[in-house]
Chains A and B, each alone.
Chain A
C-alpha cells in the first residue's frame, strides 16, 4: 500500500536529518552528541522567536533561525566540547547529555511547556497533497523529504569535492596527521558542530511547522540516534538506508502490531544491530575487541 510507503519515507527523512547531525559530529570528533534532539528543538524555538518578532516573513525567519542554530553549534563546540578534549569519550558524551538538559531547561524557562505553532505566524499553510498512487501527505511532509535530499546531496558534494570538505574528512580520520599537514582541525571540528546545528535546525523548523513545537521534541533525537547507529555512526551514506529501515519497522508495527511497540521499535532495531553488527550497516569496523 502506497500510503504506508509514503509515511515511511516522510518519517525516514526526518530521522535522516537528525542522524546526519550525529554522523557529522561523530566523524570528526568521535563524540556522540546525544543533545542533537534538543538542538532540533532549539532550532524550532529560534524560528518561533523570529516568527513572533517579525511575523509574515517565512524566508527570512527560516534562514535566520538556521543561521542562529549553526552559530549555537559553533559556540557549543568552543565552550563545552573543546575543554573536554583530553577526557575519556564517555565523559564527553555525558557532557552532551548535560547540554541537552541545559538547552531544554533554557527553553522551558523562556517559553514554558505550552505547545506552540509557528505556522500561522509565518503566514504559511500546510494543505494535504495527493500523490500518484493514492497516498496523501501534507505539504510540509513533501518539503521535509525535499530538504533532506537536498541537504544530503549538498553534504556529499561538500565532503567529497570541496577542499574544506576533504580536509574535514582527513581531520576526522586522523587528527594528528592532519594537523601536521597544516590543517586547522579545531576550526573543522567547530564547523562540523555548526553543520550539525544547522541540520538539527532544519529538522526542527520543518517539524514545528508540520506538527507542533514543544520542549519535549528531544525524544525524537534519541530515536534518530538508533538510526545513526544502524546505518553506521561514521557513515553519511549509511544514514539513508538506516533511516528507511527503522522508519519502516516503526510504521509497520503501528499498522500491523501494537502501536505502543512503535515507540520501542527503533531501540529494538538498535539492539539487534548491536548484537549482530555493532558498527552498523556501512560503518567502519572500529577496534571492537571481542572478549
Chain B
C-alpha cells in the first residue's frame, strides 16, 4: 500500500517478502520484543487474557479463510472445534494423551470432516450453505454428546497437561508463549495462503464465481480445499483448547460459540487476517471490559445477577452496531486511523500521476 510515494520493488525476493518496508520491519521487531517481555511486566490475569485471545485468533483466522477469503458462509464452526477437542478426549480416554499424537490427529479429523462438509456444500450457496452448516453443527454436537454419555461415566473428560518427553506444559507463562507462537505461525500461514494461488482462486470464487469458473479455476476443488484447510486449522484450535482448559465437555461448544467466531471475523473485518486477530481480541476482551466497567461503577447489590445478561446483551449490541455502521470492521477503523496519522496534516492521499 503506497502512501504518498511508491515503494518500488526491484527484486523478486523483496516482492515476496512479507515485511517489506523498514518501518514495518521495525514495528514488527518492536512487537516481537514486547510480546517476549510481556510476562515480566503484567499480572498472570492479563497474561491469561492474551493467551485466550491467541487461542481465539487461531479459530478466527481459520474461519476467515473459509468465510472471508473463499466466501463460503459457515455457521458450523463450533462443530469443528468440538471435533478437535473430542479427538483429544478420545485419545486421552484411550491412554494416548501425547500432544504429538493428539494435534496431528485433530487436524486430520478436522480435514476429514471438512471433506464431509465441503463436498455436499458444493450444491449450496449463500443462505442455504449457512443453514446446512448450522444443521451439521447440531449433528456433530449430537455425536460428541453421545460419546460423552457412553464413554465417560462422568460429564466431560479431564485432559492432563501435555508433556513432550520430560517437559510438561503447565502454568500461565508457558501457555502464553506456546499459544502466542502457534497463533503467530497460523497468522503467517494465513497470510501466505492469501497470497498463494489457492488464495487468489478463493478470492475469485468469492467475488464472482461464474467469472472464476470461466477463467479456468476448478471451483469445486478449491471450495473443498477451503473447507479442508479451515476445518483442519479449527480442529487444531479445538485440540489446543482441550489441552489448555484441561477439560472437555460438549456444553462448551453450543451455537453461541459459532456466533462468537462469526462475530470475531465480522467485527474484525471480513477477508483480512489482521481483522481476524483484532476481532478475536475484541470479542475475548469484551466480557472482561464489562466486568471492569460494572465494577468501576460500583452498582449496588446483585450485580452478579445481571452481569451475565449485560455481557450477553452488550455483545449482541456491539455486533449489530458493527454490522450496521461499520461493515468493514475494526480493520476499516484501523486503516482510517492509520491513514489519518500518516497523512496528517493533509487529509487525502496525493493524486498519483497517470503516466
Q: How far is the CB of B292 from chain A (nearest CB, A)?
A: 19
B319 x A109 contact (CB < 8 A): no
The residue in chain B whose Cβ has the minimal distance to the Cβ of A112 is B305
Binds B, one of A131-139, A144-152, A244-252, A263-271: A263-271
A105 x B131 contact (CB < 8 A): no
A94 x B142 contact (CB < 8 A): no
Which label, helix, strand, loop or mixed, suits the secondary structure of the B interface? helix
Which chain B residues border A290 with CB–CB below 8 Å? 122-123
Q: Which of B246-260 contact A (CB under 8 A)?
A: 255, 259
Q: Is B5 an interface residue (CB 8 A)?
A: no
A91 x B327 contact (CB < 8 A): yes
A87 to B319, CA, bound (A): 15
Q: Is A84 an interface residue (CB 8 A)?
A: yes
Q: Is A15 an interface residue (CB 8 A)?
A: no
Which chain A residues border B259 with CB–CB below 8 Å? 97, 101
Q: Is A102 an interface residue (CB 8 A)?
A: yes
Which chain A residues border B330 with CB–CB below 8 Å? none
A94 x B135 contact (CB < 8 A): no
The residue in chain A whose Cβ has the minimal distance to the Cβ of B318 is A98
Q: Is B262 an interface residue (CB 8 A)?
A: yes
The residue in chain B whose Cβ has the minimal distance to the Cβ of A87 is B327
Q: Which of B16-58 contact A (CB under 8 A)?
A: none
Q: A99-B316, A106-B313, A289-B209 are in contact. Are A90 and B127 (CB under 8 A)?
A: yes
A93 to B145, CA, bound (A): 28
B135 x A226 contact (CB < 8 A): yes
B130 x A90 contact (CB < 8 A): yes
A109 x B313 contact (CB < 8 A): yes
Which chain B residues border A105 with CB–CB below 8 Å? 309-310, 312-313, 316
Q: Is B125 an interface residue (CB 8 A)?
A: yes
The residue in chain A whose Cβ has the minimal distance to the Cβ of B256 is A101
B123 x A275 contact (CB < 8 A): yes
Q: How far is the CB of B118 from chain A (nearest CB, A)?
A: 11
Q: How far is the CB of B309 from chain A (nearest CB, A)?
A: 4
A263 to B128, CA, bound (A): 21
Q: Which of B100-137 contact A (CB under 8 A)?
A: 120, 122-128, 130-132, 134-136
Q: A101-B259, A109-B309 are in contact. Are A268 and B139 (CB under 8 A)?
A: yes
Q: Could you give, for residues 307-324 of chain B, a 1 whenever the CB lies within 8 Å of some chain A CB and a 0 otherwise? A: 011101101110110011
B124 x A288 contact (CB < 8 A): yes
Which chain B residues border A201 with CB–CB below 8 Å? none
* Size bracket, chain B contacts: 35 or more
Query: Which listed residue (A84, A99, A106, A271) contacts B135, Cβ 8 A?
Result: A271
How many A-B residue contacts, CB cutoff 8 Å?
119
A102 to B131, CA, bound (A): 21
Q: How far is the CB of B76 from chain A (nearest CB, A)?
A: 11
Q: How far is the CB of A98 from chain B (nearest CB, A)?
A: 4
B120 x A275 contact (CB < 8 A): yes
Which chain A residues border B220 with CB–CB below 8 Å? 291
Q: How far is the CB of A263 from chain B (nearest CB, A)?
A: 7
B323 x A90 contact (CB < 8 A): no
Query: Which listed residue (B134, B210, B310, B316) contacts A101, Cβ 8 A?
Result: B316
Closest A-B pairs by Cβ, 3 of them: A105-B313, A101-B316, A108-B309
Extra contacts, 16 of them, besides A94-B262, A260-B145, A288-B125 (Cβ < 8 A), are: A80-B324, A87-B327, A90-B126, A95-B323, A95-B324, A98-B317, A99-B320, A104-B312, A105-B309, A222-B134, A261-B142, A267-B138, A268-B139, A271-B135, A278-B124, A289-B125
| A contact set with B: CB distance below 8 Å | 32, 80, 83-84, 87, 89-91, 93-95, 97-102, 104-106, 108-109, 112, 222, 225-226, 229, 260-261, 263-264, 267-268, 270-271, 274-275, 278, 288-291
30 A-B Cβ contacts within 8 A?
A80-B324, A84-B324, A93-B127, A94-B266, A94-B319, A95-B324, A98-B319, A99-B320, A100-B316, A101-B259, A101-B315, A105-B312, A105-B313, A105-B316, A106-B309, A106-B313, A108-B308, A109-B313, A260-B142, A260-B145, A263-B138, A263-B142, A268-B139, A270-B131, A271-B135, A275-B120, A278-B123, A288-B125, A288-B128, A290-B123
